[in-house]
A and B are shown apart, each in its own frame.
Chain A
Amino acid sequence: MIAILALLLACQLGGEILARSLALPMPGPVVGLILLAVVLLAWVHRRPDLKGTLLDKVSTFLVGGLGLLFVPTGVGVVQQLGLLGDYGVGIVLTLVVSAVLTMLATVGAFLAVKRWTGKRP
């Protein structure tokens, strides 16, 4: 358990160091994600099954509980109540319509490219 946490944090730290020292346009944890993926790809080369390992369980727990991790940030809304009072309707409409458009564009492009590439396997 501790080893798994150490692995995740080490990847994040490595990602942070790489991102800063090489001035990458990516955030540290995303570089850490790539680092861990590389390590795991090398690992599954020898031992094909990652499912059911402790790493699998811990990451399922972390990724599955992702919603909780946003609560402290989201509660910050109490600091922005004044701004939301002034522009609340505009902000909410903008965010809702933009989120819908983004989902439609994404799912449309996904299915279009899939159909298009599927014709010529």
Chain B
Amino acid sequence: MNDPFALWVYLSSTPLLWLTVTLCVWVGADWLARKSGRNPLVNPVLVSIIAVGVVLLVTGTPYARYFEGAQFVHFLLGPAIVAIAVPLVTNRKIVMENLLPLLGALLAGSVTAIVSVVLLGRLFGLPPDVLLAMVPKSVTAGVAMGIAEQIGGSPSLTAVLVVLTGVTGAVLVTPIMNALKITDYAARGFSVGLASHGIGTARAFAVDPVAGTFAGIAMGLNAVLTSVLAPVLASWMV
């Protein structure tokens, strides 16, 4: 295969190329994030999505073909959620000490996430099908897509909204909590995990291990509570 075009046609149709691109872009984005001193604006998820997105648009590669390679990374979301049990158990003492605040915050946050997004979306004139896709936006991707399907929203749109929400929370949490002079890392972590699921949790782990643990707990619990609340609230509000 001496023709570079033929080589490209071959490679661009294999999972190998897009899996490698995803991992290499991530390594670069993570390096940038570390170089910036974990500046919240240099979020590795956001940087990676933009970089890979541009590559796909420039090369005219359909998303479905990209996903054939990237699905191997995507698959690990499930085991990664299961693995949150480990920090949960190792930190069980501090979790039990904060059990009541944690449950109160879960309820307040989960309801706020759903109600605020529907009301704001209506205020900004978004159509009902977008509103439905927005309802589970604070829940981790795989779960949110399931909820969207259940309430009649588009799962693929939900997936994008979930990631946008995740990046937003991960970028804003540190400046907001510092401005409010909140130094309780359990509370800080829990709030970003609840609002911004796995991407917020990754940010929290980058800042502080206790914050990360509470973010992981919030992500897990909010996935459960939103699964229960979303169908009820969506049928009332949308």
Chain A residues within 8 Å of B, Cβ to Cβ: 5, 8-9, 11-12, 15, 25-30, 32-37, 40-41, 44, 50-51, 55-56, 58-60, 62-80, 83, 87, 89-114, 117
- The yes or no answer to B128 lying at the interface (CB within 8 A) is no
Contacts of A109 in B (CB 8 A): 101, 104-105, 107-109
The proximity string for B residues 79-91 relative to A, scoring 1 for CB distances below 8 Å and 0 otherwise, is: 1111111111110
- The yes or no answer to B238 lying at the interface (CB within 8 A) is no
Contacts of A67 in B (CB 8 A): 26, 43-45, 198-199, 202-203
Query: Which size class do B's interface residues fall under?
Result: 35 or more
Q: Can you give 20 contacting A-B residue pairs, CB < 8 Å?
A: A12-B79, A27-B142, A27-B146, A27-B223, A29-B77, A29-B78, A33-B220, A64-B205, A69-B74, A72-B74, A73-B160, A80-B160, A87-B127, A90-B124, A91-B126, A95-B165, A98-B113, A98-B165, A103-B173, A107-B105
Contact of A94 among B52, B134, B169, B201 (CB under 8 A): B134
A39 to B182, CA, bound (A): 35
Contact of B48 among A34, A71, A100 (CB under 8 A): A71
Chain B residues within 8 Å of A, Cβ to Cβ: 22-23, 25-26, 43-45, 48-49, 52-53, 56-57, 63, 66-67, 70-71, 73-74, 76-90, 92, 98, 100-109, 112-113, 116-117, 120-121, 123-127, 130, 134, 137-138, 141-143, 146, 156-157, 159-169, 172-173, 176-177, 180, 182, 184, 186-188, 190-192, 194-196, 198-199, 201-203, 205, 212, 216, 218, 220, 223-224, 227-228
Q: Is the interface of A mostly helix, strand, loop or mixed?
A: helix
Q: Is the interface of B mostly helix, strand, loop or mixed?
A: helix
**A68, B73: Cβ atoms closer than 8 Å:** yes
Contacts of A60 in B (CB 8 A): 86-87
Give the most central of A29, A32, A56: most B CB within 10 Å.
A29
Contacts of A32 in B (CB 8 A): 78, 81-82
5 pairs of A and B residues whose beta carbons are closest in the complex: A106-B109, A72-B70, A90-B124, A109-B108, A74-B163
